[in-house]
Structure 1
C-alpha cells in the first residue's frame, strides 16, 4: 500500500519538463532512457519541444509492454535511428522478441520509424484513418524529418502499417489483456488509445497532453475532441496515464492540460465572436493561465486562430 501511495503521489506531482532541458540520455539518440512506469510497462519520455536535431524527433512518448510472451511497442519513432535505439533498450531489459508495433496516429513521430520494425519482420498496427493520413502526407513528413534529423534520418523510408482496424483491436499475449481503441475524433485522424483494463492503465496517445500545450491542427475538431474525452476517454476510469506528450501522470493532470484547455480556449474565442471580433484579434485572446506550458510560444496564437476558424460558422 505504501508503494502504491508513493507512486500515485509521484504521478500526480507536476514533473519538471522544459524545452530548455538538454538531452537527458546523451549516450543514445533517444531523448530519455525508458523507465518502468508500472511493472511491465516502460516508456521513453520525449522532449516537450518541437522536433529538432538535438532531440532527433523524439518529442513524443515511445512505450513498450512486456507481456511475458513477447513485447508490444507503442509508437514506431520518428526515424529508423530512434526505432533501433528503442529496440536496443528493449533487448537490454528483457529477452523476449518484439511481436507488434502500434502507431498511435498517422503523424511522423508515430509512423516514420515503421520501416525499421517491418524490416525486422514485425507487424505494425494502426487505425485505418491514421493509415490513410500517413499515405497522404508521408512524403512531406519524411522530407521534413530529414531536414531536422540529418544523419539520424539515414535508412528511414515511408512505410505504412501492415494491419489496420476501425473500432477496436484486442490482444491477449502472455499475461496481458490489451485493448487498442479508437474512441472517437480527437487530436488527429486515427488517434488510438492502448487500454489495459486489469491494470487500469492507458497509453493515451495524443488525445491527452501533459506539461506542454496541445497543438490544434486545421483538421482538428475541438468540440469533437471534448466530446470524445467526456463520453469515452475519461469514463475508461484509468488510474495511470501515459499521455502522447509529457511525463506519465493521472487523469486529473491530463484533463487539466488537455480537456480544460480546449474548453477554456473555445470559451475565449466564443466571447470574442459574440463581441464581433475578427480573426486578426482572435490570435491574442488571453491564454495566460497556460503560459507556463512548454511550446506555449510556438502554439498559443496558432491554436487561437484555428479555433476561431472552426467556431466562426458553428
Structure 2
C-alpha cells in the first residue's frame, strides 16, 4: 500500500529535480533502481543532468512492460553496460523473456545499448527516421559516448533496429495492447511514443519534459512540435506520463514545461523580432519562469537562438 501511495504522490505533485543529486543506486551502473509506475509497468529513472562518467550516461528513462507473455523494453540505453544492468533488474522481477526493445528515437541514450540486446537475439523496433539517424550518425554518437564513458563504453557498438515502422505499430502481448506511435514531428527525427490505452499510460519519450529543460536541436522545428502536441499527443488523454527524462507525472505537468514553454519562447522571440532585435540579443530573452529547471544553464540561450533562426523568415 505504501508503495502505491508514493507512486500516486509522484504523479500528483511536481518533484524537484537536481543535477547535484548523487547516484541513487551505487550497486548498479543504473542511476536509479526501477520503480513500478503502475502494475507491471516499470521505469529506471535517469539523472536530469547531462550524461557523465558518474551517471554512466543514464540520463533518460529506461522502461519495461511485463506483459504476462514476455517483456517489452522501451529504450536500449546509452551503453551496453546500462542495457545489461537493466536486464539484470528485469530478471530479478520476472522470468518472462525480453521479446522486444523499442527505441524512442535515434539518439545515443535510446539506442547505443541495442548492442547488448542484439547479442541476446532480441528484436529491436524503431521509427524509420530514427533508423536513418542511427545509420547516418551512429558512429559519431558512439564516439561521443566513449569520450565521457571511457571504460564503461566497453562492449558497446552500433546495432541498428531489426524492425521499423512509419506511423503506428500495434503489439498484442499477454494482457497488454501496446501502441507504438509516431504522432508527428517534435523533438527530433523518429520521435516515438508508447501508448497503453487500457491503462491510460504513455511512455512519451522526448515528446515531453518537465524537470529538466528541453533541448531544441538544429532539426527541431518548434512550430511543428507544438502542433503535434496539440493534435496528437494531448489527444491521447493520458492519465499517467512517463517522460523521456524525469519522474513519472501527469499531462498537466509536461504540458506546462513542454508545450507551454515552447509557446512562451516563441512569443518572447517574436516580440524581440517585432522590435527589430537581432540574434545576439535574442539569446537573452527572458526565460526566468523556467530558470529552476535542470540543464537551464546549458540550454536556455541556445534554445532562444534556434527559435530566433526559425522565426526570422516566417
Aligned length: 314
**1:248 & 1:183 partners in 2: Cα distance?**
20
Q: Are 1:210 and 1:257, in contact at CA under 8 Å, matched by a contact in 2?
A: yes
Q: How does 1:102-141 map to 2 (within 5 A)?
A: 102-141=102-141
The 3 A distance-change label for structure 1 pair 238 and 2 is farther
Task: Let me know the Cα RMSD of the aligned residues.
Answer: 1.4
Superposition pairs for residues 88-107 of structure 1, below 5 Å? 88-107=88-107
CA separation in 1, counterparts of 2:122 and 2:173?
A: 15
Distance 1:2 1:23, change over 3 A: closer
1:21 aligns with 2:21: yes
Q: TM-score, normalised by structure 2?
A: 0.98
- Counterpart check, 1:248 vs 2:243: no
Conserved? CA contact 2:10–2:248, under 8 Å: no
- The 1:34–1:264 alpha-carbon spacing in structure 2 relative to 1, beyond 3 Å, is same
CA distance in 2, matches of 1:64, 1:205: 13
1:172 aligns with 2:182: no
Q: Counterpart in 2 of 1:50?
A: 50
1:272-297 deviation line (CA, Å, top 9, x unaligned): 00000000000000000000000000
**Which residue in the other structure is 1:86 paired with?**
86
Q: Distance in 2 between matches of 1:304 and 1:181?
A: 29
Q: Mark the runs of 5 or more structure 2 residues left unpaired by the alignment.
A: none
SS at match of 1:164: strand
Q: Following the alignment from structure 2 to structure 1, what is the Cα–Cα distance between the partners of residues 267 and 130?
A: 29
Distance in 2 (alpha carbons) for counterparts of 1:233 and 1:76: 23
Q: Is the 8 A contact 1:12 1:253 kept in 2?
A: no
Q: What residue is the counterpart of 1:303 in the other structure? A: 303
Partner of 2:38: 38
Deviations 1:154-174 (A, max 9, x none): 000111111000010010000
Structure 1: tracts of 5 or more residues without a match: none
Alpha-carbon separation, structure 1, partners of 2:9 and 2:56: 31
CA contact (8 A) 2:10 2:247 kept: no
Q: In structure 1, what is the Cα distance between the partners aligned to 2:12 and 2:206?
A: 19
Query: What residue in structure 2 maps to residue 185 of structure 1?
Result: 185
Query: Alpha carbons of 1:5 and 1:46: their partners in 2 closer, same or farther (altered >3 Å)?
Result: closer
Distance of 2:64 and 2:3 partners within structure 1: 22
Question: What is the distance in 2 between the residues matched to 1:79 and 1:122?
Answer: 16
Provide the C-alpha distance between the structure 2 equivalents of 1:261 and 1:269, rounded to a whole number of angstroms.
12
Q: Deviations over 1:16-39 (max 9, x none)?
A: 321110100011000000000000
Deviations 1:101-138 (A, max 9, x none): 00000000000011110110001000000000111111
